[in-house]
Amino acid sequence: MENAFAELNLGVLADNLRLMRTALCTGSELVFVVKADAYGHGMLPVCRLAAAEGVRWFAVAHIDEAITLTDNLPDVRVMILGALQVDAVREVIQRRIIPLILHEEQGVALAAEAASMNKVLRCHVKIDTGMGRLGFVWNTAAGAITRLARLKGLEVVGVCSHLASAEGPDIVYAQVQVARLHGVIEKCRELGITFQMRHVSNSGGFHCLPECDYEGVRCGIELYGYGPRGINTRVVARPFLQWKSSIVQVRKVPAGFTVGYGSTHTTTRETNLATMDFGYADGYSRLLGNKAQVLIGGRRVPVVGRVSMNLTTADVGPETTARAGDEVVLLGTQGGESIWADEIARWCGTIPYEVLTGIRTKARYTVGPAGSRVRAN
């Protein structure tokens, strides 16, 4: 018997990668977003498989992720989506990592540091076209980019933006953002600046704006099997992470029996309770108490009572055959049933990203056949 673990079939990931790369417009490259430990899937195993499948570009959030990736896969290209600090310039140049320049002051400082080493920092500039987080605001961006392009120590080779709402069905704002980006690119062209690589689409943009594949598409959640679904879906990728544990104890209890901290659940009949070997310390949210379901014996059973630090309880019914040591599926498939991260997210009132990146259990990897698992819409 063992505590909860994640089981990942990298054969499914390989299938997802092939589907997406085939769907991209000619001349566009997949930029695989693997920040936050590949959305909780394990950055190095995921990236090794993707590199073996021919993926050349990866995107991370921070310099430490970029260093880990280039230490292990020195031939891939890595893009840092977050803010690069001056003290990392030497490392970035040596490793051919591409940072994003987010504002003029940062660009000037990074250029000066590179110039002091008689080096040139190759970079992309990020345009804030309406996301409202990071980047040069679109209506003044061209002038700032022109000034940066003149600096010794800096070579601006790419331009990008980030879509705030491209999951559909209403993509009007995404189209507004794209138009703003085009305006910046055109103004830069008039000023004598062109870009080798343009990228704006995330998973949502990949589906609803195929004309915006450009030279790169930064895809994250779709490749993990949880992209938007709708009439404009270009591919249907599938989840490759399952989350499992086991039963510690099964007990028959009478009607009126209270369960867990705060006695938030009371049985309405004689039944059997299965105490399971996982809790919020493993990343299973306390918000799932008295809301979620898990899979035991190929069927859905309700989680009852509060989720504890290391234990969670389910009502397996009066006629159960469940026993200590039996498998419990928190996320994934068992028999003909499945529970995926988007359903868990709905129970928690959040998004699949948070569910996946919150998993804190050991992982097992296989590279088996892709199989036929499908995610519920």
Nearest of 368, 365, 375 to residue 41 by alpha carbon: 365
- Asked whether the beta carbons of 166 and 202 are under 8 A apart, the reply is yes
Q: Would you call 35 a catalytic residue per the annotation?
A: yes
The one catalytic residue in 119, 187, 252, 261 is 261
The one catalytic residue in 35, 214, 224, 365 is 35
Distance, in Å, from the CA atom of 358 to the CA atom of 39, rounded to the nearest integer, reads 9
- Asked whether the beta carbons of 314 and 294 are under 8 A apart, the reply is yes
Q: Which two tokens stand for residue 370?
A: 């892709």
Q: Which two tokens stand for residue 13?
A: 């990931």
For the chain, what is the HEC assignment? CCCCEEEEEHHHHHHHHHHHHHHCCCCCEEEEECHHHHHHCCHHHHHHHHHHCCCCEEEECCHHHHHHHHHHCCCCEEEECCCCCHHHHHHHHHCCCEEEECCHHHHHHHHHHHHHCCCCEEEEEEEECCCCCCCEECCCHHHHHHHHHCCCCEEEEEEECCCCCCCCCCCHHHHHHHHHHHHHHHHHHHCCCCCCEEECCCHHHHHHCHHHCCCEEEECHHHHCCCCCCCCCCCCCCCCEEEEEEEEEEEEECCCCEECHHHCEECCCCEEEEEECCCHHHCCCHHHCCCCEEEECCEEEEEECCCCCCCEEEECCCCCCCCCCCEEEEEEEECCEEECHHHHHHHHCCCHHHHHHCCCCEEEEECCCCCCCCCCC
Q: Would you call 126 a catalytic residue per the annotation?
A: no
Distance, in Å, from the CA atom of 257 to the CA atom of 237, rounded to the nearest integer, reads 43
User: Which residues are the active-site residues?
Assistant: 35, 261
